[in-house]
Structure 1
């Protein structure tokens, strides 16, 4: 009986150990990420012919986006971990609102946003369910900026006073920025290697959009600040080394 009892205890210990997330382990997760911008924007300011004016009631909204992402999480201790995040750059679409709503979709851009976070994982290292919270920062920049016809041709600058004088070929730029992040999630450990996870994050992200139009009467600059502030959900499958 004593031998049987010892064998049962050792077996239970072995079963618990295979699920451990402990110091020195590296976990790689891959999965689906959804970005839901909690967006807002300032009115468009147009600078031309030596003066500036704000377009009343103008604004823009940012679309939701989906992408594939990859995280690498290193456990410094049984509870503290450092996570890095990379993903296939999702395409964000910008649509006019208010007085710009007749223009429809204004353009799109790919957003690059690698991030690093510090996390605290609750519970024992051998627990199957391990919730966690974290905070960190991302550096964000935009590539592959594309403008739809009303913007690319400068037609959005047509006015009763000046007609089409301010229209012309238009290019766009979006400013780079750092974005603070907070997140929370849950890991379910299937065995000593495999797990599934779910997390939600919020980032304070804004960018300044600048349109430069080469018109017949000179360069026209139009700009606005857009707050994207995405709420990000991530569902993934992980492998621990």
Structure 2
């Protein structure tokens, strides 16, 4: 929640133009999304569990308000790429993925409020591609299975001009996959926390 505070504080400097998230409204948010894996996995031949680094890419969400309080959101982004390593071997692979997600959302407050906090829950489908062996696995085949899991979010929209608003949101995604390598199949839970800071426009 601390990550959301700067957006809320900005509201003290904003004009009093209200934020209209009414039934039938369609709005987009665009900005930067950082994926921070919270990974755990099988031990890799006694060299430790798989570890993935963070990555930041462009994120985009599209939301349609079913009522003044309930909305449906689609999350998209440019591909995220992570270096994969173990404590004993160092970097062993690189993998890219896309995490499209669909969320059912509930917005607190009135439709004409300047600040609209919200929560959401839904499904995430993570598509892995461009897997490459590195270091000890250089030149070998590495394949990562796609994943379907639950997702949840909390966020806040803050209006600063007619039809324009700032946003900050935090996502949790349940990503479980099997990594196929020359040393066998490794089960991995990636389960990232994703933070997105963006600007939105209401149509």
Instruction: After TM superposition, give the deviation of residue 205 of structure 1 in Å.
Output: 0.8
Equivalent of 2:188, from 226, 231, 235? 226
Between the aligned partners of 2:136 and 2:42, the Cα distance in structure 1 is 20
Q: Is the 8 A contact 1:20 1:192 kept in 2?
A: no
Q: C-alpha deviations, 1:112-167, integer Å up to 9, x for none?
A: 111100000000001000100000111112111111142125xxxxxxxxxxxxxx
Between the aligned partners of 1:62 and 1:206, the Cα distance in structure 2 is 14
* Paired residues, number: 189
Larger gyration radius, structure 1 or structure 2 = 1
Between the aligned partners of 1:224 and 1:144, the Cα distance in structure 2 is 18
Instruction: After TM superposition, give the deviation of residue 192 of structure 1 in Å.
Output: 3.2
* TM-score, scaled relative to structure 2: 0.88
Alignment-derived partner of residue 11 in structure 2: none
Q: Is the 8 A contact 1:73 1:83 kept in 2?
A: yes
Moved over 6 A (4+): none
Q: Is the 8 A contact 1:16 1:127 kept in 2?
A: no
Gaps of 5+ in 1: 1-14, 45-54, 154-169, 213-220
1:18-29 aligned at under 5 Å gives the runs: 19-29=19-29
Alignment-derived partner of residue 124 in structure 2: 138
Instruction: After TM superposition, give the deviation of residue 18 of structure 1 in Å.
Output: 5.3
Alignment-derived partner of residue 42 in structure 1: 42
1:189 aligned to 2:146? no
Between the aligned partners of 2:107 and 2:162, the Cα distance in structure 1 is 17
Between the aligned partners of 2:27 and 2:162, the Cα distance in structure 1 is 11
Q: C-alpha deviations, 1:89-115, integer Å up to 9, x for none?
A: 110111112xxx2x2111111111111
